[in-house]
């Protein structure tokens, strides 16, 4: 389990953004230690930046001090851009793989402690941290916004597959379908549209250059054939000695794949492993 600990934050907007990112890359707990503004969770800026976050009262817990924020934690990591006496700061890029395993272990609660926007972590805060970590940046600007820092860390620790809007699968056309499309394009634009031999050579060369190499899909071919038919083409795959596309070929492939998956390795008729 991951627990974000914000030490004396001053900006309601930052806290609101962190509440959102805690849900983006959760499960994650959020402890706010002695915020500068007592009304941080009802401030208009917080509400604006945390828009859409449900269960704010359960996610965001305000506590008086760091000791209360760390109750039940098994490991404490402080993130700071400043040096603190002789404490070694580990590089985030190198330490991240180590922390991923601990932060996603259900038997552990790892506290990720961040200082406030102005002063960062103070000496008393650092003394309670088992590890100190810094995130390398360009020398052109060495300070990171608090909410951005938390987002970088949580994103780096996130291991779930997560949610993603389903995208339409890419369905490349078969080689014979591509050959038919190229021939049909040449037939219409080279034989019917071109006005001069030079124009015909340029058109045929362009079709060959583009349509034999482009990552075409079934729907691309259908769209072009509709346009070519509107221009008077009656060319069919049979005219070129090509086999016609089997009816519902793609649907049959999907049905066959689903049937094979449903059978599983222990079902009759499935291949031996």
Tell me the average pLDDT of the chain.
86
Which range among 144-158, 206-220, 234-248 shows the weakest confidence by mean pLDDT? 234-248
Over residues 243-271, mean pLDDT: 58
Tokens encoding 204: 């045929």
What number of helices (H) and strands (E) belong to the chain? 11, 7
Please say if the pLDDT value at position 130 is more than 80.
yes
Sign (positive or negative) of CA dihedral 249, 253, 256, 262: negative
- Please report which confidence band the pLDDT of residue 254 belongs to, taking 50, 70 and 90 as the band edges: low
Q: Which residue has the tokens 């940046």?
A: 137
Residue 159: its pLDDT value, please? 84
pLDDT digits (tens, 9 = 90+) for 36-69: 888 888 899 999 998 888 888 788 999 999 999 9
User: Which candidate, 29, 80, 35, 32, places its Cα nearest to that of 58?
Assistant: 29
- Please report which confidence band the pLDDT of residue 265 belongs to, taking 50, 70 and 90 as the band edges: low
User: Which candidate, 90, 104, 120, places its Cα nearest to that of 154?
Assistant: 104
CATH fit for domain 2-157, picks 3.40.630.40, 3.40.1280.10, 3.30.1540.20, 3.40.50.10490: 3.40.1280.10
> What are the C-alpha distances in Å from 93 to residues 14, 55, 82, 101, 234?
24, 32, 17, 14, 61
For 226-251, the three-class secondary structure string (H helix, E strand, C coil) is HHHHHCCCCCCHHHHCCCCCCCCHHH
Residue 241: its pLDDT value, please? 81
Residue 252: its pLDDT value, please? 54
Which positions ≥6 away from 242 have C-beta within 8 Å? 176, 179, 180
- Residue 133's H or E segment, with its range, is strand 131-134
Over residues 165-192, mean pLDDT: 84
Residue 246: its pLDDT value, please? 59
pLDDT digits (tens, 9 = 90+) for 69-108: 999 999 999 999 888 877 889 999 999 999 999 999 989 9
Where along the chain do the CATH 3.40.1280.10 domains lie? 2-157
Q: How many whole angstroms separate alpha carbon 216 and alpha carbon 104?
A: 42
Residue 164: its pLDDT value, please? 67
Please say if the pLDDT value at position 255 is more than 90.
no
Residue 270: its pLDDT value, please? 43
């Amino acid at each position: 389990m991951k627990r974000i600990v914000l030490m004396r934050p001053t900006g309601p907007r930052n806290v609101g953004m962190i509440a959102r990112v805690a849900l983006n890359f959760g499960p994650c707990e959020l402890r706010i230690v002695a915020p500068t503004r007592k009304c941080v969770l009802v401030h208009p800026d917080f509400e604006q930046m945390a828009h859409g976050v449900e269960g704010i009262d359960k996610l965001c817990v305000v506590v008086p001090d760091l000791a209360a924020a760390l109750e039940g934690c098994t490991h404490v990591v402080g993130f700071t851009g400043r040096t603190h006496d002789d404490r070694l700061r580990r590089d985030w890029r190198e330490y991240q793989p180590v922390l991923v395993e601990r932060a996603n272990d259900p038997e552990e609660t790892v506290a990720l402690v961040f200082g406030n926007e102005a002063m960062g972590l103070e000496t008393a805060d650092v003394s309670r941290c088992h590890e100190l970590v810094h995130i390398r940046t360009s020398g052109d600007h060495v300070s990171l916004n608090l909410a951005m820092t938390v987002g970088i860390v949580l994103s780096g620790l996130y291991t779930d597959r997560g949610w993603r809007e389903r995208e339409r699968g890419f369905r490349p056309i078969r080689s014979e379908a591509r050959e038919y499309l190229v021939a049909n394009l040449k037939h219409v634009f080279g034989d019917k549209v071109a006005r001069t031999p030079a124009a015909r050579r340029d058109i045929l060369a362009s079709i060959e250059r583009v349509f034999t190499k482009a990552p075409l899909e079934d729907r691309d071919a259908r769209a072009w054939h509709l346009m070519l038919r509107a221009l008077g083409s009656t060319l069919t795959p049979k005219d070129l000695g090509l086999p016609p596309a089997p009816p519902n070929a793609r649907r049959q492939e999907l049905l066959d794949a689903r049937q094979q998956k449903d059978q599983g390795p222990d079902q009759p008729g499935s291949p031996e492993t």
